[in-house]
A and B are shown apart, each in its own frame.
Chain A
Amino acid sequence: MTKRPRYGLYLLVIISVVISFFPIVWLILTSVKTTAGIYAWPPQYWPTPVTFENYWTIITQSPELLRYVLNSFIVGVGCTALTLVFGGLAGYALSRLNLKFAGFLMVGILAVSMFPPVSLLPSLFQNFLQLGLLNTYTGLILAHAGLFLPFTVWMLASYFATLPVEIEEAARMDGMGFLRIFLTIVLPLSWPGFVATGLIVFIFSWNEFPLALVLMTQNAMRTAPVGISLYPGEYAFPWETISTATVIAIIPILIITAIFQKQIVGGLTAGAGK
């Protein structure tokens, strides 16, 4: 095979990478500038001096911004755990137990997964208000779990379908019931599927906006995207704080994405290809 010249390829790759990274890099650069540096003319392209005073300010003076991140984390973990348990069981039953309505349920679940979240708002807000679930972790966890269960069920059901069914049948012959098979055979064998699904659901929950906006009305209960977005509304627009808080809020996602890139990409494309 003859090698064709590849300079063009590298040029395109570099352009794509720069464009993808640039807003994030600029944000990080902004966060380590002094306030004067941020609003300076001529503009500072490179922070001089590099300073972490904005981070220090947040820690000492605006701990609510850290609270947002904690809230996001609690809701994300809760929602992920709940969807994996519920969705795992359902996915197992739908892919393995020859349920009569399996086809109908799978299609139905796919259909409801496309409901626009804003359509749920009037009703969810009203019901959560009356049930006392506004501004509770339980409330938002349940809402997010409902929102992301369809995705979870589809992901896990298609993952289970790739496991050899005979192992589960051997377990039946050995005397296990379906719940025990699920817990002691299917779970250990499909942890890569659970990891990929769990990571994606966590990211979904971390990023979700409309429900988090409406169901958490108290400042202290807000999730990171909502809290940071609404933060400026209370004073002038403090970009030094916003950029810093945003960096803090996206760092967990950046780390997760970087470490589990393969699993996330695999899960996403498998989910979309169905």
Chain B
Amino acid sequence: MNAAYSLDHRRQMTGMSFVAPTVLLIAIILIYPIIQSVVLSFGQSSIDGSEPYEFVGFAHYAKLMGDERFWNSMAVTFTFTAISIPLELMLGIGLAVLLNESFRGKGIARLAVLFPWALPTALNTLMWRWMYNADYGLFNAVALQSGIVDRPINFLGDEWLAMFSMVVVAVWKTSSFMALIILAGLQSIPRDLYEAGRMDGMSRWQEFTQITLPLLKGPILVALIIRSMDALRTFELPFNLTDGGPVIATESLSLYAYKVIFDFIDFNFGAAIVVVQFLVIFAMSLAYIFVLRTRN
């Protein structure tokens, strides 16, 4: 063919042309908007571009620092993350160990734990909201009929109960994802280690703490980081469960940003919020990549 260029050069050009559509689309959908958000956050402008962009420096950020509702949403987000992740991790490890056993009906069991992950969070949340319902929900029906309580519990109407209810939905949905990742790690542990352990007279519990857990460090770390980043940007869960309520007790950072942008129609201030959120999550993702790189 074209012998004017070296083999390597032609290969590079072909490769670049294969990568180009992907890089272009990612640049348009993911990278450019972030840059634009940064620009928006430093200025005052109108949505449709009818008014010229006016640079205001750190004004929005200064306002953000004094914004109680912003700090509330940070606190909500981190509380939610800090409570749900350890629970998911414990349940995930438990489920993974369970699913690693061989028993009849294992296929069904694995499918069962996969379903909550596979369904849309928004719709999962609706299912739970229906069960939490103060007047007609399943939980209150059972609690009232069995006499545990004599007045219906307002799950979503109390600050702490609402947070707790939200955590339950998240844990229900994502423990299975944790379990699957950890299960893959479990299956890569050589069986003869357990046989050696048995020869040494280890109990089941000792097998778990002496062999399984130490060898699962890697997968657990991966699962933890992926899930933390997910939890830090949680949106449709509070959107559908409580709409951030009662008042703002479950208003996550994402939800607050959304409301500022689309309910209060303040794109510039909203942009400042999402930039902060982006920085927090991006720092975490860099840590994630760093951890993975050092592992390999």
Contact = CB atoms under 8 A, between A and B. Distances in A.
Direct contact of A and B (CB under 8 A): yes
A90 B37 CA distance: 27
Interface in A212-271: 213-214, 224-226, 228-229, 239, 242-243, 246, 249-250, 253-254, 256-258, 261, 264-265, 268-270
A112 interface: yes
Contacts of A127: 33, 36
B33 A13 contact: no
Contacts of A21: 112, 115
Interface stretch (A50-58, A115-123, A162-170, A190-198): A115-123
Contacts of B135: 39
Nearest to B279: A119
A86 B21 contact: yes
Contacts of B239: 209, 229
B55 interface: no
Interface of B: 8, 11-12, 14-16, 18-19, 21-23, 25-26, 28-34, 36-37, 40, 47-49, 94-95, 98, 101, 103, 105, 107-116, 118-124, 126-128, 130-131, 133, 135-136, 138, 141, 145, 172, 176-177, 180-181, 183-185, 204, 219, 222-223, 226, 229, 232-233, 235-236, 239-240, 254, 257-258, 261-262, 267, 270-271, 274-275, 277-278, 281-282, 284-286, 288-289, 292-293
- By secondary structure, the B interface counts as helix
Contact of B138 (A26, A42, A228): A26
- By secondary structure, the A interface counts as helix
A59 interface: no
A94 interface: yes
Contacts of B28: 142, 146
Contact of B240 (A6, A90, A110, A229): A229
Given A92-B18, A114-B229, A114-B285, A123 B32 contact: yes
19 contacts: A13-B103, A16-B112, A20-B116, A24-B115, A97-B15, A109-B26, A112-B26, A116-B232, A116-B274, A119-B33, A119-B257, A120-B33, A123-B32, A123-B40, A125-B47, A142-B28, A178-B11, A229-B122, A268-B180
